[in-house]
Amino acid sequence: MTTTLAPALAPVRPTTIGVANLIRSEWTKLRSLRSTYWTAVAAVIAAIGITTIGAIEYVQHFSPDQLEGFDAANFSVQGLYLSQIALGALGVMTITGEYATGMIRTTLTAVPQRRVLIAIKGLVYLIAIFVLSEVMSFASFGVGQAILHRKHAGVSLSDPNVLRVVFGVGLYLTGVGLLAFGLGALVRRTAGALAAFFGVLFLPSALIDLLPSSWHQVALKFAPVNAGTQIANTHRVDHMLGPWQGLGIFTLYGVVIVLGALFVVGRRDA
Amino acid sequence: MIEVQSLSKHYGATKAVDDLTFSVRPGTVTGFLGPNGSGKSTTMRMILGLDRPTSGSTSVNGRAYGQIRRPLFEVGALLDAKAMHGGRSGYNHLLCVAQSNGIARRRVTEVLELVGLGSVGRKRARTFSLGMGQRLGIAAALLGDPEVLLFDEPVNGLDPEGILWIRTLLRNLAREGRTVFVSSHLMSEMALTADHLVVIGRGRLIADTTTADLISSSSQGYVLVRTPDADGLARVLRAAGATVGVTDDAVRVTGASCAAVGDLAAEHHVVLHELSPHAASLEEAFMELTRDSVDFGADFGTAMADAAAGVGH
């Protein structure tokens, strides 16, 4: 153990430069932690499990008059609303985990361009959860429809708007990830960032009653989750934003938070 | 080459680093010495672009750290054994760091072997001992074969074998012509490892000199003489301008070399039974240096206790 290092230090020369290297590095970080797999497994179990239980329940107590106003597409992706918690926690910890462990100092010593680093880290995470979310969404839809079809209550992807619902839920979850990652980068501490994440997702609808009643409609429309989840309704809901408009507003919240995080990250001490 | 120019870092009213100017040259080990909380880590973090200076600047090879395109090829740093995610294996920790600068996988295996972690590279870093963590941090610093290396308290918490390993490593890196800057609050360790010393206390520069000069300039060094005629010798030495303390048959002389004392004794026909030089330890030199300039309080006492408990010399 006391051998010297000198003779073995072979010369190392730069190979390729820039973004591709950062993507490779961040992907290694994401895939080399067990917590990534645990949260992914939790998200999948939530997505498929909740949908399955809900669909079985529905089919067992089925009567044909329930079909009036029943949104079968939306019904079979409902499990993903629980998945968003796991995916969001992953997004928060992707960045707060570096600060909590001290890894960030090693990272920033290797990559002093902090804004580029945060942007690439976010991008790698978002691509990963986008793929996972779409797989979960289509799988959940498939399982749900297989059960609903027993009572002929199902729909197919070729029906109007159904593909938009199923694909759109995957996009919504990616938007949730954007929000979570942005809050993680802004707050830097796991507990605080998780609290902020849950706050942004769930507090607005709880606080709406405190607002003057004339504001209720606007607040309901623009509350993040309300705006984002319109994409999951087969038919447009009255007094709510349209599916793409809503998803756009929801994504905008995430973009603003990420931009805020990018703005401050260069000014703070690591 | 590391250059620090009029560097200051204030946290509110506290001046963690106060107008520090020094440079670290290639080819030698430069020790960065000071008690706990004297601003060593803060200074190193500013050199590495992690913290923003309140004023002043730092550069590595003539450039601000943030201007270096791929830092791992120019600068390697060990900040502390904890600057890694415990859930990741040693191999994957090094791999993600290497990939960010475009360093090939085989280099990861290579540095793992270099630091003696080849057999445990697949274990999660959380399970590593402190010494293994330090080795993994050093492996990361060596990934890009950099010219400039910074180590913050690398021997902290290591066993004697680990300390010897790091000391040998640092000296070899310097011998290869690299710039090696290593902080420590263990003065005895620095005495063995560093050729040059930058000493700070309370964020201010106290000394920037060679280790040998720092020790020899200390008035704590003395010449011990044993003679049956202590009073006679003392009189002669005092007449020659030396400071003399007499106890029984021993005379303690400061301000005169062994040779000068021997010559004087011969000239005046004083019989000597012993004539021996006593160099000050780095601790003593450091104590003397900092005694008047700053009051270190309890922190410094701890540092001294640590130093006493460290490797002897």
Q: Is the pLDDT of residue A6 over 60?
A: no
Give mean pLDDT, residues A7-25.
Answer: 66
Residue-wise pLDDT for A178-190, tens only, equals 999 999 999 999 9
Same domain, B273 and B173: no
Cβ neighbour number for residue A2 with a 10 Å cutoff: 12
Residues of B numbered 38-57 whose beta carbons fall under 8 angstroms of chain A's beta carbons: which are they? Answer: 45, 48-52
Return the pLDDT at B213.
83
Q: Is the pLDDT of residue A134 over 50?
A: yes
* Minimum Cα–Cα distance from B68: chain A residue: A112
In a domain, B286, yes or no: no
Pick among A90, A93, A103, A268 to test the B interface (most B CBs inside 10 A): A103
Q: Is the pLDDT of residue A4 over 80?
A: no
In a domain, B16, yes or no: yes
**Confidence band (pLDDT; 50, 70, 90) for A121?**
very high
In a domain, B311, yes or no: no
Give mean pLDDT, residues B269-287.
Answer: 81
Same domain, B66 and B169: yes
As for the ipTM of the complex, it is: 0.88
Q: Is the pLDDT of residue A164 over 70?
A: yes
Return the pLDDT at B305.
44
Same domain, B53 and B160: yes
Same domain, B167 and B274: no
Q: Which domain holds residue B241?
A: 222-278
CATH of the domain at B254: 3.30.70
Residues of B numbered 285-304 whose beta carbons fall under 8 angstroms of chain A's beta carbons: which are they? Answer: none
Residue-wise pLDDT for B80-102, tens only, equals 777 899 999 999 999 999 999 99
Return the pLDDT at B36.
82
- Among residues B189, B216, B243, which one ends one of the domains? B216
Nearest to A2 among B85, B102, B165 (CB): B165
Same domain, B274 and B246: yes
Return the pLDDT at B313.
36
Residue-wise pLDDT for B16-48, tens only, equals 999 999 999 999 999 999 888 889 999 999 999
In a domain, B64, yes or no: yes
* Total domains present in chain B: 2
Spans of all domains in chain A: 21-265
Same domain, B242 and B198: no
Residue-wise pLDDT for B153-178, tens only, equals 998 878 888 899 999 999 999 999 99
Same domain, B210 and B234: no
A100 class by beta-carbon count within 10 Å (0-12 exposed, 13-18 middle, 19+ buried): middle
Give mean pLDDT, residues B180-208.
Answer: 90
Give mean pLDDT, residues A221-239.
Answer: 93
CATH of the domain at B12: 3.40.50.300
Q: How far is B143 from chain A (nearest CA, A)?
A: 8
Q: B168 and A97: CB-CB below 8 Å?
A: no
**Confidence band (pLDDT; 50, 70, 90) for B133?**
very high
- Among residues B200, B216, B232, which one ends one of the domains? B216
Of the two residues A148 and B294, the one the predictor is more confident about is A148
Return the pLDDT at A3.
43
- Among residues B201, B216, B231, which one ends one of the domains? B216
In a domain, B82, yes or no: no
Q: B168 and A101: CB-CB below 8 Å?
A: no
